[in-house]
Structure 1
Amino acid sequence: MRVWGRGSRGSLLYRLALGDAGTTALAARDGAPSTGPAPIYAQVQALVDGPGVTCR
């Protein structure tokens, strides 16, 4: 993938996650089903403990 110029995609990921969190919270409040599969705890932990992790 070729990227022209410099730019951060970090805020995009944060905003998407925040939007999904809000949608999930509203669905839970209203008793609606979840909109998609959530990762299990072990999957999240694997991301945290994965290769290249330097912030501990």
Structure 2
Amino acid sequence: MQNCTQPTDTYLNDETYAALRAELVRLASGSQVHDVDTEVVRVLGEVGGVWPQRAEAD
């Protein structure tokens, strides 16, 4: 596994990008979320299919 210090670009199809953006805007606009970090991880993964590299081992 390569250890990179700079993130690589990830390109999503327009529909996924729009859904991801909408969920993150909803989250940032003051919705009452108990654990914001967990919710961001959920949105990135479930809506955008964006996961940290370490998740590949799971």
Per the shorter chain, which TM-score range? Answer: 0.3 to 0.5
Length-normalised TM-score, structure 2 = 0.39
TM-score by length of 1: 0.40
Q: Which has the larger radius of gyration?
A: 1
